């Protein structure tokens, strides 16, 4: 990256960090952006990165091996056949969206002797574009889910559907925070580039920011569906 772009990224990181309360951390969503962008963010003090596709993430992780361990979070739709790879490469998974996936992850995590931090993805409004637990379904299966071996349930993740007003988004994020409290989970992964201020107001502990840090994702990276506003 040219120096001027690196300085812009460093300034954006600093400006956003300055607006986050101490209880909220910044996950830099680097999907769709090259390893060089991550390298520049690391130089500016960022250690936690979000990726949503295993193959893409692995190539970047390998290219950045000289930086030592970074804090990798998987935030995309997790296909069953990618579970093992994701467990090997990511310490935190934000997108645990079904009982079947949770059971599979628990089994493979035990085999791999890993104990990933997991966040359950919850859908608080009908949204055909997104996966996730309905709040009632999560409550109904919670005893079983929270007792699965190897997984460390730490929180909930949610994505606000497009087209909501700011006040509606705030209400949705507050519902997510309330459900996390009810289940005894400390982490609330809420807020993206377009809505993170409302999520922070509602008690987010991880904002997941991509385009507001790194700029728009190049369009060829949108070809493969993933979780989020830019899916498909
Ligand atoms: C892509 C993505 C983000 C980041 O989106 P921006 O709007 O670019 O900040 C956050 N969370 C999830 C789950 C995503 O897929």
Closest CA to 94 of 23, 17, 29, 183: 29
Contact 46, 30 (CB under 8 A): no
CA-to-CA distance for 123 and 32, rounded, in angstroms? 24
Closest CA to 174 of 162, 190, 163: 190
Ligand 1 atom 14: the closest Cα is on which residue?
228
Task: Determine the atom of ligand 1 nearest the C-alpha atom of 212.
Answer: 9
Scanning the chain, the segments in alpha helix (DSSP H) are 3-19, 35-43, 54-63, 83-89, 99-112, 135-140, 142-146, 166-182, 196-201, 211-214
Task: Determine the atom of ligand 1 nearest the C-alpha atom of 196.
Answer: 9
- pLDDT of the chain along its 232 residues, tens only? 677 878 899 999 999 999 999 999 999 999 999 999 999 999 999 999 999 999 999 999 999 999 999 999 999 999 999 999 999 999 999 999 999 999 999 999 999 999 999 999 999 999 888 999 999 999 999 999 999 999 999 999 999 999 999 999 999 999 999 999 999 999 999 999 999 999 999 999 999 999 999 999 875 444 444 444 433 2
Task: Give backbone dihedrals phi and psi of 122, rounded to 5 degrees, phi first.
Answer: -120, 140
Cα of 111 vs centre of ligand 1, distance in Å, is 30
- What are the structural domains of the chain? 25-221 (3.20.20.10)
156 CB neighbour count, 10 Å cutoff: 27
pTM recorded for the entire structure: 0.93
């Amino acid at each position: 990256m040219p120096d001027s772009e690196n300085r812009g990224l460093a300034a954006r990181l600093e400006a956003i960090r300055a607006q986050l309360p101490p209880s909220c951390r910044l996950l830099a969503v680097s999907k769709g952006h090259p390893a060089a962008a991550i390298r520049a963010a690391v130089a500016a003090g960022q250690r936690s990165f979000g990726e949503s596709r295993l193959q893409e993430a692995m190539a970047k992780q390998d290219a950045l091996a000289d930086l030592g361990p970074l804090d990798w979070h998987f935030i995309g739709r997790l296909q069953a056949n990618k579970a093992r790879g994701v467990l090997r490469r990511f310490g935190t998974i934000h997108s645990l969206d079904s009982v079947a996936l949770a059971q599979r992850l628990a089994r493979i995590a035990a085999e791999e002797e890993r104990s990933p931090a997991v966040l359950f993805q919850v859908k608080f409004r009908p949204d055909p574009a997104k996966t996730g637990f309905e709040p009632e379904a999560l409550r109904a299966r919670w005893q079983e889910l929270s007792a699965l071996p190897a997984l460390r349930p730490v929180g909930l993740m949610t994505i606000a559907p497009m087209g909501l007003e700011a006040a509606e988004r705030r209400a949705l994020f507050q519902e997510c925070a309330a459900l996390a409290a009810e289940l005894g989970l400390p982490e609330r992964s809420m807020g993206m580039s377009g809505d993170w201020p409302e999520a922070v107001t509602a008690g987010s502990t991880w904002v997941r920011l991509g385009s507001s840090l790194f700029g728009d994702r190049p369009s060829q990276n949108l070809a493969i569906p993933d979780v989020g506003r830019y899916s498909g």
